[in-house]
């Protein structure tokens, strides 16, 4: 088609469909307009085909057409962007070939790296010193070009009058993991953004970790060899025309008025908790307490920033520890479907740098660049970590700061950076020997550092015990699902559930009422001071301040689900019930029958600790009587007289030897170090 025809066609099209939109945008000072490709193809199929085949000229014609409208003086260059391209224009990065060059395509992927915004010259005006002629040179290449000669015959040494600059930025796009077939390495493509695509609003979409859809023309760029000459090999570049975010976090979900009405109706339902709990993972049988906890985790508590700059996190972390085949991974996978902006990572394939951040060589600008790992990429989202017990201790140590402080600090090469990681973590692990031993203490079977476990608000053991009635129901449920995959319809469909959770996260910031506050305080004080009459030095600590904060977060989440502005007494009770359920499952000391938080957080129960203290005292007493080297029999005799069992004495001595408090100078004798 002729250029003039294209321009007039676009003028017709914009006048018919987008005239009001154009006026509205110019009034607001926005210098671009987004046209719908499907509308264009209905209007004129030839123009639409021309756009796909020769995007550069066609988009240029469209911009000329827009600039012929009566636009305000402050807008010099008006850009035209196209969205909604047909599916057959979708291209995967690995399938780009030389025949695709210069055509318009849609490419989807995840932003991995992003360079800084830098100015770039588009055209320059020169003056000839001899005759005063003004020459404009368009700068299309990567090198700056001067005019070769003037009409008066002068060559070289022209004076630069002015140059037009635009903002330019490079990002690296990587294929999304769900588009890959087994065992493939995700391929990368450089993308070039300019003008309004690097504005602060669209900046949010192109942050590393966000999944985006780019409409753009594929170009080739010459590679320069070491000797300065051009190579026969070229590199690929996508010149972006339009960017759209695919994966939203909660703040990007758009809720229509109709959906808002449905959400309000749902929140007034007295059985809202049961309905939502059943809709979380309808295809997984049982585990109602866990589903309820996951529901509360999806809405989260309220993040508080105090006047002194201290921040209390609102995200709850949950750990599921259980027998293989009890449906932990399925729960994680399903939750990652409901939660916007979530990532699923698994055990052995996770490194500390992959979770937090790594420093890599920057391809665009040289020097070093920071590449975010899974936790900062899920900022304000969810990270599901499966098989957490298979991770090496160095890698789990990287998570401490992210779980409690919600930031990740990096000091490597010449980069000192703090990344935000307001991420909710849902983790799953297996017990130490693959399965739970029903007769042994639960905490002993968790093969993870106590400091990390302490940062989880709720810890659920998922036990898989044979029980005839339960097994029959479970078998029936699973087999019916196999027979008829559509058998279970969630009460609230996934889309509405996401919108409901998003609305409660965005709009509700409930405050504790006196009733709820007193309820939580009463439980906390009561739990901490159980068994006050015992030996005060070695009393069990049933619950610590971390659990107190966890209780507040859970109570706030419970109020958020009702879309309430106040945390009521019943919310506090629901939180207490969940925390108590977890503590009684994981933190019970079998010797005393009391809940003891130390069991989880330090691995040594208070009753064991008091025995160790007792043995230490006996050794000090005997040292004064016998001398430095004390026979083992004397220690055992004294301990039995004080009411400590012989097997416990040997165990405690073993622990003291391991910690370096005692040593055995000769067989059967002990000395203090």
Supply the DSSP string of 174-220, one letter for each residue: E--GGGPPTTPPPPEEEEEEEGGGGSHHHHTTTSTT-EEEEEEEEEE
Q: Is the pLDDT of residue 186 over 50?
A: yes
* Own/partner pairs, 344-348, CB within 8 angstroms, 24+ separation: 344/384, 344/386, 345/374, 345/383, 345/384, 345/385, 345/386, 346/385, 346/386, 346/387, 347/385, 347/386, 347/387, 347/388, 347/389, 347/390, 347/391, 348/387, 348/390, 348/391
Residue 644 neighbours by CB under 8 Å, 6+ apart: 611, 614, 615
Contact indicator for 561, 570 with CB cutoff of 8 Å: no
Q: Which of 143, 121, 165 is nearest to 222 (CA)?
A: 143
Q: How many CB atoms lie within 10 A of CB 319?
A: 24
For the residues 572-588, what does the mean pLDDT come to?
80
* 293-298 CB contacts, 8 Å cutoff, 24+ apart: 293/318, 293/458, 293/460, 293/578, 294/318, 294/331, 294/335, 294/426, 295/561, 296/554, 296/557, 296/558, 296/561, 296/578, 297/424, 297/426, 297/557, 298/335, 298/338, 298/339, 298/382, 298/501
Q: How far apart are the first and last CA of the chain?
A: 94
**Helix (H) or strand (E) segment spanning residue 33:** strand 32-36
Residue 512 has pLDDT above 50, yes or no: yes
Assign 391 a pLDDT band (cuts: 50, 70, 90).
confident
Residue 486: is its pLDDT beyond 60?
yes
* pLDDT tens per residue across span 396-412: 777 888 887 888 888 87
Are 381 and 341 spatial neighbours (Cβ–Cβ below 8 Å)?
yes
Highest-scoring range by mean pLDDT, 97-111, 178-192, 350-364, 592-606: 97-111
CA distance 620 to 630: 10
pLDDT at 264: 82
Please state, for a pLDDT cut of 70, what percent of the chain lies above it: 86
Q: What are phi and psi of 249, to 5 degrees?
A: -90, -175
Where in 543-656 does DSSP place strands (E)? Answer: 566-567, 588-589, 594-595, 630-631
291-295, 557-561, 589-593, range with the lowest pLDDT: 589-593
Angle, helices 288-299/545-561, rounded to nearest 10 degrees: 80
Is the confidence at residue 540, as pLDDT, over 80?
no
DSSP assignment of 79-148 equals EEEEE---GGGEE-GGG--GGGTTSEEEEEEEEEEE---EEEEEEEEEE-TTT--EEEEE--SSS----S
Task: Give residue 454's pLDDT.
Answer: 75
Query: Within 10 Å of residue 463's Cβ, how many Cβ atoms?
Result: 15
Distance, CA of 404 to CA of 103 (rounded, Å)? 49
Q: Please give the full DSSP string across 56-81, using - where no structure is assigned.
A: HHHHHHHHHHHHTS---TT----EEE
Supply the DSSP symbol for 528: H
Q: Which of the four pLDDT bands, split at 50, 70 and 90, describes residue 537? A: very low
d(CA 318, CA 470): 25
Q: What share of the chain is helix, strand, coil (3-state, %, to 5)?
A: 40, 25, 35
Query: Mean pLDDT over residues 280-309, rounded?
Result: 82
How high does pLDDT run on average in the chain?
78
**How confident is the model at residue 105, as a pLDDT?**
87
d(CA 665, CA 673): 11
- Per-residue pLDDT for 594 more than 60? yes
Arithmetic mean of pLDDT, 320-340? 78
* DSSP per-residue letters across 274-291: HHHHHHHSTTS-S-HHHH
Nearest to 100 by CA among 92, 108, 110: 92
Q: What per-residue confidence (pLDDT) applies to 535? A: 44
CA-based torsion, 125, 220, 87, 92: positive or negative: negative
Structure tokens at 161: 């009058």
Between residues 265 and 250, which one has the greater pLDDT? 265
Q: Per-residue confidence at 313, pLDDT binned at 50, 70, 90?
A: confident
pLDDT of residue 414: 72
**Which among 248, 272, 249 has a CA at the least distance from the CA of 262?**
272
Q: Which residue from 373, 368, 385 is spatially nearest to 317, judged by alpha carbons?
A: 385
Domains and CATH numbers, the chain: 3-84 (3.30.1640.10), 88-247 (2.40.50.140), 257-507 (3.40.50.300), 511-597 (1.10.8), 606-672 (1.10.10.10)
* Other Cβ atoms closer than 10 A to 535: 11
Alpha helices in 318-418, H assignment, sequence order: 328-338, 352-355, 374-377, 393-397, 399-404
* pLDDT confidence tier of residue 536, bands split at 50, 70 and 90: very low
Residue 605 dihedral angles phi and psi, to the nearest 5°: -80, 165
* pLDDT in the model for residue 543: 65
* pTM higher than the cut 0.75: no
Query: Per-residue pLDDT averaged across 81-95, rounded?
Result: 83
DSSP per-residue codes, 224-262: E-TTSPEEEEEEEEEEEEEEEE-S--GGG----HHHHHH
- Give, as one character, the DSSP assignment of residue 665: S
Top-confidence residue, 424 or 201: 424
């Amino acid at each position: 088609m002729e250029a003039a025809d294209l321009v007039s066609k676009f003028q017709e099209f914009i006048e018919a469909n987008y005239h009001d939109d154009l006026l509205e945008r110019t009034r607001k000072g926005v210098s671009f307009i987004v046209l719908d490709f499907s509308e264009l193809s209905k209007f004129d199929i030839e123009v639409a085909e021309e756009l796909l085949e020769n995007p550069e000229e066609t988009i240029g014609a469209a911009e000329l057409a827009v600039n012929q409208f009566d636009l305000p003086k402050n807008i010099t260059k008006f850009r035209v962007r196209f969205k909604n391209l047909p599916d057959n224009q979708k291209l995967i990065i690995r399938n780009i070939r030389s025949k695709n060059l210069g055509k318009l395509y849609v490419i989807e992927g995840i932003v991995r790296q992003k360079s800084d915004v830098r100015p770039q010259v588009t055209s320059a005006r020169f003056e000839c010193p001899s005759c005063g002629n003004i020459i404009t040179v368009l700068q299309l290449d990567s090198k700056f070009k001067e005019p070769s000669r003037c009409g008066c015959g002068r060559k070289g040494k022209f004076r630069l009058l002015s140059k037009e600059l635009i903002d330019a930025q490079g990002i690296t796009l990587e294929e999304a993991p769900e588009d890959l077939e087994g065992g493939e390495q995700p391929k990368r493509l450089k993308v070039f953004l300019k003008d309004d695509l690097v504005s602060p609003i669209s900046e949010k979409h192109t942050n590393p970790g966000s999944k985006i859809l780019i409409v753009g023309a594929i170009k080739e760029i010459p590679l320069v060899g070491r000797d300065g000459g051009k190579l026969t090999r070229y590199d690929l570049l996508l010149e972006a025309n339009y960017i759209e975010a695919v994966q939203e976090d909660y703040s990007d979900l758009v809720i229509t008025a109709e959906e808002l009405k449905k959400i309000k109706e749902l929140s007034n339902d007295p059985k809202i908790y049961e309905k939502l709990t059943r809709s979380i993972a309808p295809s997984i049988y049982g585990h109602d307490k866990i589903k309820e906890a996951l529901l509360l985790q999806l809405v989260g508590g309220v993040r508080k920033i105090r006047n002194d700059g201290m921040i209390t996190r609102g995200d709850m972390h949950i750990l599921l520890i259980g027998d293989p085949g009890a449906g932990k991974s399925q729960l994680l996978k399903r939750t990652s479907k409901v939660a916007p902006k979530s990532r699923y990572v698994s055990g052995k394939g996770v490194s500390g740098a992959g979770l937090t951040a790594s420093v890599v060589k920057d391809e665009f600008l040289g020097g070093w660049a920071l590449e975010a790992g899974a936790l900062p990429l899920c900022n304000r989202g969810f990270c599901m970590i499966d098989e957490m017990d298979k991770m090496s201790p160095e890698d789990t140590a990287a998570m401490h700061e992210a779980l409690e402080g919600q930031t990740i600090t990096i000091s490597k090469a010449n980069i000192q950076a703090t990344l935000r990681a307001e991420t909710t973590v849902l983790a799953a692990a297996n017990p130490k020997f693959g399965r739970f031993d029903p007769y042994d203490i639960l905490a002993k079977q968790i093969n993870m550092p106590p400091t990390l476990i302490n940062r989880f608000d709720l810890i659920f053991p998922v036990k898989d015990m044979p029980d005839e009635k339960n097994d029959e129901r479970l078998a029936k449920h699973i087999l019916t699902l196999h027979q008829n995959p559509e058998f279970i319809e969630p009460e609230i469909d996934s889309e509405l559930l996401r919108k409901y959770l998003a609305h409660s996260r965005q709009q509700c910031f409930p405050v504790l009422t006196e009733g709820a506050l007193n309820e939580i305080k009463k439980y906390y004080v009561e739990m901490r001071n159980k068994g006050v009459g015992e030996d005060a030095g070695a009393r069990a600590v049933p619950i610590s301040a971390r659990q107190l904060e966890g209780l507040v977060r859970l109570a706030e989440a419970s109020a958020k689900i009702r879309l309430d502005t106040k945390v009521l007494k019943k919310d506090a009770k629901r939180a207490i019930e969940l925390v108590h359920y977890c503590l009684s499952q994981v933190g019970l000391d079998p010797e005393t029958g009391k809940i003891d938080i130390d069991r989880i957080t330090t691995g040594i129960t208070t009753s064991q600790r008091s025995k160790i203290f007792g043995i230490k005292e006996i050794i000090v007493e005997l040292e004064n009587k016998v001398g430095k080297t004390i026979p083992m029999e004397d220690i055992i005799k004294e301990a039995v007289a004080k009411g400590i069992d012989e097997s416990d004495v040997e165990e405690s001595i073993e622990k003291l030897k391991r910690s370096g408090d005692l040593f055995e100078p000769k067989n059967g004798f002990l000395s203090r170090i």
